[in-house]
Chain A
Amino acid sequence: MNSSFKNKLINAFVISAIITLIFITAITVIADLKPPLKNWLKDNFNHHWIGKGVLSVILFTAITIIIALIPKKTAGLKLTSALLYLFWTTVLGTFVIFGFFIYEYLKH
């Protein structure tokens, strides 16, 4: 594997992880607020949580492949910056999910 493609592939993995974490956060909140989405996940994956997991893995894989195949010399972000963006996405996603379920508990 040449060095340029290796850099691009690893950047693709990290950017894909950022998008996947945003997706997990979004689908967690939206599926709880919109019962039709939660029901769709249940109907198609047996359980909404399985659906979220399966879709996350598919999204992670698909976005990694798409970004890795984009004919650019670099994948956009430097690896160091991408890792820091991933860190802050994780922190923010954690607070959003935790805060959302506190809000849901207090609302009912």
Chain B
Amino acid sequence: MSLILKISLASHVILGIIAIIFFYAVWLNLFKQKLNLKLLKFSSLTGLIAFLLSWLTGGYYYVVYYGNAVRPGIKGGQFPWAHTIVMEAKEHIFLFLPFLAAISFIVLWFFGQTIATDAKLKKGLLFINAVIAVIGTAIALSGIIISGAIRQ
């Protein structure tokens, strides 16, 4: 594997984890009585940018290297389901995250002041950030399963 592919894969993982951490920060901070709007806006923006960059770097590795060099090994190995179920689901469910992150960012940036007083809107935003954090975590764990299957 070339250096650029190694950097792409490492960046994809690190940026994905950064994005998840920042969306956990948004989710958990929305539970507070007194909202720190600056922190919420900063976290949603950072999380969104990290997801977009993770998409690009992971996409480069996946399209250029994974399909030809890694996938056949997994499908022919002890755990073919690691590709057929886990990777296939991961790569497609991941596509939800940048759009959800964009919505979290847009609502916080345009309606930040309203959220503190509108309990229903706050609840809606809580649900969106919860689903981003939970799906993001599941996708990160899927990556560990796929990496494990490559080593077998």
Contact = CB atoms under 8 A, between A and B. Distances in A.
B89 interface: yes
B127 A24 contact: no
A39 B102 CA distance: 30
A86 B102 contact: no
A18 to B, nearest CB: 9
Size class of the contact patch on chain B: 20 to 34
B99 A52 contact: no
Contacts of B59: 49-50, 53
Contacts of A24: 92, 95-96
Mostly, the A contact residues are helix
B17 to A, nearest CB: 20
Nearest to B135: A94
Interface in B87-137: 88-89, 91-93, 95-96, 99-100, 102-103, 106-107, 110-111, 118, 120-121, 123-125, 127-128, 131, 135
Contacts of B88: 101, 104
Nearest to B105: A13
Contact of A97 (B67, B89, B110, B118): B89
B99 A49 contact: no
Contacts of B128: 83, 86-87
A61 B128 CA distance: 20
Contacts of B85: 98, 101-102, 105
Interface string A85-101: 01100110110011001
Size class of the contact patch on chain A: 35 or more
B95 A56 contact: yes
B55 interface: yes
B36 interface: no
A74 interface: no
A104 to B, nearest CB: 7
B63 interface: yes
Contact of B93 (A49, A50, A87, A94): A94
